[in-house]
Structure 1
């Protein structure tokens, strides 16, 4: 065969082979592009669901935290009224049917009231999740901690507004340390929530999930998106559980506080308006009302001690909802409220 024909044949074959390779390359590129789009869609959907669940739970927890702080701060008014009553008896510890409520301690209640007031002063400028973090860790403990010292050695009470609030959150051990690194910063930006508050609600793992970036390689990006989806679903399941338990706790808190509010108004009229400050002048019903108030304050104090969330020891794990104490509290509330008189209804 003449050489020109051979060369021409080889050139044609090479051209056909090049076209084939080009087609295969184009198919691979399209597949990679489709895979990347699927990964991005899956990642975006998972984060969107997590953000929605986080927002709903954080809103509820913030509401509870603010209510608990308001209740604790109100103990100052209660203590002032009780201290005005001369010759009053020693209000002993309530203990019935396995339920034990703390005895009346005026100084302790004043301390808690002051601490709660400090924290309330900083909530106005605080980010979402701050008050919820207090509820998660136990509002009573948090209020007392507000009278302590920040990690810098500065007395928290000497700080102003948000600074005092953030220092208390840090002292409680929120997500800042556990979530460290770029993941925390990006995760916080994605959630749009307070770093420390969310860390106390969920745990540092939430920042690892929301703060991860997809790889530039399609297959790796898809694997990452699948992992994000799986981890997000775990956190959402936890948040749903927390929401359900928190709702029960919030309802119980409202029931007890409603009874307290009715009675504190009457005691205020007796002491501040009528000027009756001698226990010996109190009628039987007024004494019973006062004793019931002490009991309700003890119950509210104990309720605000409950950590709605038990912090995980591992920064890569999700926290635990404190269902045991929340459920026990439901039983305690029902029993104590049944023990009250009906004079204020």
Structure 2
């Protein structure tokens, strides 16, 4: 066989081999590209799922935080009625079977009411997650904190609207929260620092296969996505649990609050009725009505109203979440304390009669 022909055949074989290698490389590039695109789509879906879960939970927590402030603010109305009673029963002596309350004073209740009113005024148009901070720290604690001093040295109660709300959140440990923020950023004040390390942004994963080691980059993108998915699943489970327990607590609060409001209306009517019984001259010298002259039923309603105020005050003190020592962990859901308060509320409902 002539040598040129042999060379020609050799070149042809080499050419075919080169084309084969190119096709193989193209297939690998296509497979890598498909892997990266799949990882990108799945990561985007995971992030969207987390954002949805976060939004729903923060809304649930916001509703609870605002509701706690609304309840506590009504204590001002109770304080006005209570201050009209002469020789009233002591808060410390009020108890009902297994319903045990910590000792607190009428002044503490009144102060909390003032603080709650300050915070409520700042919730109008507030960012998602703002009121969640109150529920997380305990509404009563937040309300009392609102009577404290901001980091600037100004009394928080002297601030207006969002300024008072943000100063209180900062004092509670939420840090400096800028008005207009929210979403996951503000949610970290409730959830903890773990959410910051998830690497949620798509830019945090290498979704480019340009250059060498195409398969390695595709594998790295997929592995990073899977690592993020585990963290996101964990946070979503946490958010779901927090949402459910917040709903249960809200429901328990609502039942006690409804009973309290009906008792408060009845107590106000009793005081008005007693005032009408006083002679004109007695009304001039004393604005108060004597508890000792109340009927047994009226005394019962008075004591039950005080008990319900105390129970609500106590329930609103509960921290829904407790900060963990490790900033890389999610905050701990205070499940034991929440369940205890729900059980106390159910005990109270079974022992205290409703009033017309």
The answer for the alignment partner of 2:174 in structure 1 is: 174
Q: Report how far residue 93 of structure 1 moved.
A: 4.2
CA contact (8 A) 2:193 2:327 kept: yes
TM-superposed CA distance for 1:44, in Å, is: 1.5
The equivalent residue for 2:345 is: 333
Partner residue in 1 for 2:228: 228
Larger mean CA deviation between 150-159 and 324-333 belongs to 150-159
- SS of the residue 1:215 aligns to: coil
Mapped partners of 2:65, 2:37: distance in 1? 41
Deviation at 1:272, TM superposition (A): 4.7
User: Normalising by the residue count of structure 2, what TM-score does the alignment of the two structures yield?
Assistant: 0.84
Map 1:35-54; keep pairs closer than 5 Å.
35-54=35-54
**What residue in structure 1 maps to residue 296 of structure 2?**
284
Q: Conserved in 2, the CA contact under 8 Å of 1:127 and 1:194?
A: no
Distance 1:228 1:275 in 2: 67
Equivalent position of 1:182 in the other structure: none
Deviates more, 1:315-324 or 1:168-177: 168-177
Counterpart check, 1:72 vs 2:83:
no
13-22 vs 55-64, which moves further: 13-22
Give, in whole Å, the separation in 1 of the partners of 2:220 and 2:317. 46
Residues 289-308 of structure 1 show CA distances to partners (whole Å, capped at 9, x for unaligned) of 11111000000000000111
Deviates more, 1:201-210 or 1:298-307: 201-210
Per the alignment, residue 205 of structure 1 pairs with 194
Greater CA drift, 329-338 or 91-100 = 91-100
Higher relative contact order (CA 8 A, sep 6+): 2
Change over 3 Å in CA distance of 1:148–1:27 after alignment to 2:
same
CA contact (8 A) 2:94 2:303 kept: no
Partner of 1:193: 183
**Offset from partner CA, 1:75-129 (integer Å, 9 cap, x none):** 1111111011123233324456564214452221121111111111111121111
Q: Contact 1:128–1:194 at 8 Å: present in 2 too?
A: no
In the aligned structure 2, how far is the partner of 1:150 from the partner of 1:59? 26
1:251-289 deviations in whole A, cap 9, x for unaligned? 210111011010111222233576354124422211211
Residues 175 and 49 (structure 1 numbering): CA distance in 2 closer, same or farther, change over 3 Å?
farther
Cα-to-partner distance string for 1:36-94 (whole Å, 9 max, x where unaligned):
11111211121222222222222211111111000111111111110111232333244
Following the alignment from structure 2 to structure 1, what is the Cα–Cα distance between the partners of residues 189 and 273? 44
Tell whether the 8 Å contact from 1:256 to 1:333 is kept in structure 2 after alignment.
yes
Aligned CA distance change for structure 1 residues 273 and 165 (closer, same or farther; 3 Å): farther
C-alpha contact (below 8 Å) 1:94/1:102 kept by paired residues: no
Q: Distance in 2 between matches of 1:56 and 1:108?
A: 34
Q: From the superposition, tell whether residues 35 and 278 of structure 1 become closer, same or farther in structure 2 (CA, over 3 Å).
A: same
Contact 1:175–1:195, Cα closer than 8 Å, also in 2: no
Partner Cα distance (1:218, 1:172) in 2: 45
**From 189, 195, 205, the counterpart of 1:214:** 205
Closer/same/farther in 2, CA of residues 87 and 96 from structure 1, 3 Å limit: closer
Name the SS for the 2:91 alignment partner. coil
**Which whole-Å CA distance do the structure 1 matches of 2:146 and 2:78 have between them?**
21
User: Hey, what does 1:85 align to over in structure 2?
Assistant: 85
Q: Quick one: distance in 2 between partners of 1:255 and 1:313?
A: 35
Larger radius of gyration: 2
Segments of structure 2 that go 5 or more residues without pairing to the other structure are 208-216, 277-287
Contact kept in structure 2, 1:66 and 1:120, CA below 8 Å: yes
Write out aligned runs for 1:313-332 (5 A): 313-332=325-344
Say if 1:340 and 1:96 are closer, same or farther in 2 by CA, change over 3 A: closer
The number of equivalent residue pairs is: 331
Q: In the superposition, relative to structure 1, how do residues 171 and 104 fare at CA in structure 2: closer, same or farther (>3 Å)?
A: closer
The 8 Å contact of residues 62 and 128 in structure 1, kept in 2 or not, is answered as yes
Which structure 2 residues correspond to residues 102-181 of structure 1 after superposition, within 5 A?
Answer: 102-103=102-103, 105-174=105-174
Deviates more, 1:92-101 or 1:158-167: 92-101
